[in-house]
Amino acid sequence: MKVTIHIWDLPLRLFHWLLAVAVAAAYITAKIGGSLIDWHGRIGIFILGLLVFRVLWGFVGSTHARFLTFFPTPSKLLAYFKGRWHGIGHNPLGALSVFALLAVVAAQVGTGLFANDDIAFVGPLFNFVDKSLSDRLTGLHNTIFDLLVGFIVLHVVAIIFYRWVKKTNLVVPMLTGKKQVPKTVAASLTGRPVRGVGAVGLILSLIISCTVVWGVTGGIAYLHPAESYEQTAQATQADPGF
Amino acid sequence: MNRKIALTLLLTASATAAIAGPIEEQIRFRQSAYSFAAWNVGKIKSQVVDHPETFNKDAVAAAANAIAAVANSGLGALYGEGTDQGVGWKQTRLKPEFFQKKAEVTVAANTFNEAANELAKVAATGDINAIKAQFGKVGESCKGCHDLTRIKE
């Protein structure tokens, strides 16, 4: 006997799929280069906004979006490997994957903010570091990308493994938000309060995410002007003869 | 007549074989050339793409001419054997495979030359949208060569 429960709230699902699309778009635009490198930068900033939102949502979102709900403690991991973990939401191993992916994407965005392509693109915080540091961070941005690809492959392989070996479809719940669970599992959870999406938490998370994006793209430079490469590019001759 | 041809061949051969100068000097000059180009690329990026309200036709045309001048200056002469190792203004990042990929390098370099010369032509017209489009192509040609010949940071 199975019952349908709501597991992934809409903001969480939107975050997930927007992140997937944005990472793919960021890869393609970086690979092609030319004028599209500016779009790579914009997509990166969008990903920053998504990440900030997800971190906040990890504290104020609905039950299964909260970090504390699925934080993979050693004891939970041990129980999972021994087959004694029977929960819903992210299992302890999946939770590790969530934190690893979030950390790697955050590192990728963080280094990208200071990066340059030695052609015609600099990240929005490039002016706050010197060129040699920006070059090193650009190098890290390249290295972390390989790491990210590794984690994405692992993520997809795990989903395929669950689908074919453990007969659990993880994709459909991430699309619809609903999951079928055995009645016994659902019953064992009724004692625990399940929080839905709170309007205040949602609005505050969105406002803070947008503020961080604004801060990075203009706010910091406005509050703390740094000498910029723009100035060199805009400078015109004081004396037309020289 | 035959002597003339022979002489031409001899001169060409000796010019090709001529040592381009100390390795450090070749690296330093080519790094300088690209830095100078980067300043001019930055001007066009700023005045055409990021802040079109600051577009100054003459400044952009001058910048495009400067990039084309760098492209047409015969930079290939600064890529002598052994210049994948050495310090100019800083350590070079030329891939050692550069010397085995001469044909591909030539294609990539010509793509840059053609794109840069076209940009200079388009910049002379002052049509900001056309400049922007061609500027993107120049950027792609830069990337084409970087991906092929430069060690990533």
**Cβ distance of B139 and A35 shorter than 8 Å:** yes
Q: Nearest CA to CA, how far is B104 from chain A (Å)? A: 18
Tell me the pLDDT tens digit for each residue of A71-97.
998 988 888 888 888 888 898 989 999
User: Is residue B3 situated within a structural domain?
Assistant: no
A109/A239 Cα distance (integer angstroms) = 42
Domain containing residue A35? 2-234
The pLDDT score that the predictor gives to residue B14 is 46
Q: Nearest CA to CA, how far is B38 from chain A (Å)? A: 7
Assign 3-class secondary structure to chain B. Answer: CHHHHHHHHHHHHHHHHCCCCCHHHHHHHHHHHHHHHHHHHHHHHHHHHHCHHHCCHHHHHHHHHHHHHHHCCCHHHHCCCCCCCCECCCECCECHHHHHCHHHHHHHHHHHHHHHHHHHHHHHHCCHHHHHHHHHHHHHHHHHHHHHHECCC
**Cβ distance of A234 and B41 shorter than 8 Å:** no
From A119, A139, A230, residue closest to B139, measured CB to CB: A119
With contacts defined as CB-CB under 8 Å, which chain B residues touch A32? 140
Q: What is the pTM of this model?
A: 0.88
Whether the complex's predicted ipTM is more than 0.85 is answered with no
Task: Choose from A31, A35, A217, A231 for mutation: most chain B CBs within 10 A.
Answer: A35
**Cβ distance of A142 and B43 shorter than 8 Å:** no
Q: Within 10 Å of residue B7's Cβ, how many Cβ atoms?
A: 10
Count of domains observed in chain A: 1
The pLDDT score that the predictor gives to residue B90 is 93
Tell me the pLDDT tens digit for each residue of B78-87.
999 999 999 9
Domain containing residue B138? 22-149
User: Is residue A191 situated within a structural domain?
Assistant: yes
The pLDDT score that the predictor gives to residue A180 is 83
Asked whether residue A137 carries a pLDDT value surpassing 70, the answer given is yes
User: Is residue B85 situated within a structural domain?
Assistant: yes
From A37, A120, A142, residue closest to B152, measured CB to CB: A142
**Cβ distance of A142 and B132 shorter than 8 Å:** no
Count of domains observed in chain B: 1
Regions in chain B scoring below 70 on pLDDT: 1-20
For residue A140, name the pLDDT band (cuts at 50, 70, 90).
Answer: very high
The pLDDT score that the predictor gives to residue B13 is 47
User: Is residue B2 situated within a structural domain?
Assistant: no
Q: Are A3 and A180 in contact (CB under 8 A)?
A: yes
Beta strand residue intervals within chain A, DSSP E: 2-6, 178-182
- DSSP code of A130? -
* Residue A138 touches partner B, C-beta closer than 8 Å: yes
* Residue A233 touches partner B, C-beta closer than 8 Å: yes
The pLDDT score that the predictor gives to residue B2 is 62
A126, with CB counted inside 10 A (0-12, 13-18, 19+), is: buried
* Residue A231 touches partner B, C-beta closer than 8 Å: no
User: Is residue B43 situated within a structural domain?
Assistant: yes
Q: Are A35 and A215 in contact (CB under 8 A)?
A: no
CA dist A158 → A26, A60, B151 (Å): 23, 28, 34
**Cβ distance of B153 and A234 shorter than 8 Å:** no
- In DSSP terms, A2 is beta-bridged to A182
CATH number of the domain that residue A57 is part of: 1.20.950
A198/B149 Cα distance (integer angstroms) = 53
Q: Nearest CA to CA, how far is B99 from chain A (Å)? A: 23
CATH number of the domain that residue B67 is part of: 1.20.120.10
* Residue A131 touches partner B, C-beta closer than 8 Å: no
User: Is residue A145 situated within a structural domain?
Assistant: yes
B26/B74 Cα distance (integer angstroms) = 12
B63/B65 Cα distance (integer angstroms) = 5
Closest CA to A89 of A113, A63, A108, A109: A63
**Cβ distance of B43 and A32 shorter than 8 Å:** no
User: Is residue B139 situated within a structural domain?
Assistant: yes
A82/B74 Cα distance (integer angstroms) = 68
User: Is residue A45 situated within a structural domain?
Assistant: yes
User: Is residue A239 situated within a structural domain?
Assistant: no
